[in-house]
Amino acid sequence: MSTSLPLFYEPGLDIDKEVYWLSTETIKHAIHVLRFKVDDRLQLTNGKGLLSEARISYQDKKKVEVALINAVQMAEPVQQICLAVSLLKNAARIEWLIEKSTEMGITQFYPIICNRTERVFFKQERWNSILVSAMLQSRQCYLPTLFDPTPVIDFFSLPLPGKKLIAHCMNEQRGAITQIGQPDRVVIAIGPEGDFTADELARAKSLGFSSVHLGPNRLRTETAALAAVIKLKSF
């Protein structure tokens, strides 16, 4: 399937459909910005792995119909990375992280509320929009799952599959994150600027989390989170 065609998000896309009416959001971009016309082609994804080429078959001022061509259900990413990060006081920094970590291929994003979290800032609609844009920008067809903010103690208790890691700066034995390889399923927890508390770390370890470090430098929360994803990611 061509990678030169622009890719758009259509959550209602179905593999059994032969024609499809584009959403208002896609119409705005494809028709009003890119000036697509009848017979022009584009690609669509539902964010759940379905990828389809589409040809514009009908167009008026408000409605656009496309004929679906070569719809394919793509395999899920082999590597599933769940990124759990403390909410930050500066909203722009966490939004930057959401964008970049999605481009890198995370599959789940958990905002967590820690004892030292300075501000509980969460805009689900805006953050979902950032996820969608980053998915399309990086030409992926699986949209990461965005969870509601969760108290970190509750997060540690969730039945999370795969290797469970917690990165922190405390003075104790920690393995380098690069030493664990690229597991197929991994959860990585990153704390706030003041780090996790001793009680939070003890709770995590009691529930199967392993302590890791990201290198010799002390990093901002969003930098640490993205560095962890890059080190874990297998391409």
Residue 1: inside a domain: no
Place of tokens 């302590």: 211
How many CB atoms lie under 10 A from the CB of residue 193? 16
Same domain flag for 132 and 105: yes
CA distance 171 to 155: 23
Residue 2: inside a domain: no
CA distance 58 to 22: 11
Q: Per-residue pLDDT for 235 more than 60?
A: no
How long, in residues, is the chain? 235
pLDDT in tens, 148-207: 999 999 999 999 999 999 999 998 889 999 898 889 999 999 999 999 999 999 999 999
Same domain flag for 84 and 60: no
Range of the domain at 48: 7-73
In percent, the amount of the chain with pLDDT more than 70 equals 98
The mean pLDDT value of the chain amounts to 94
Residue 203: inside a domain: yes
Whole-prediction pTM: 0.92
- Domain total for the chain? 2
Same domain flag for 183 and 86: yes
Domain CATH code at residue 13: 2.40.240.20
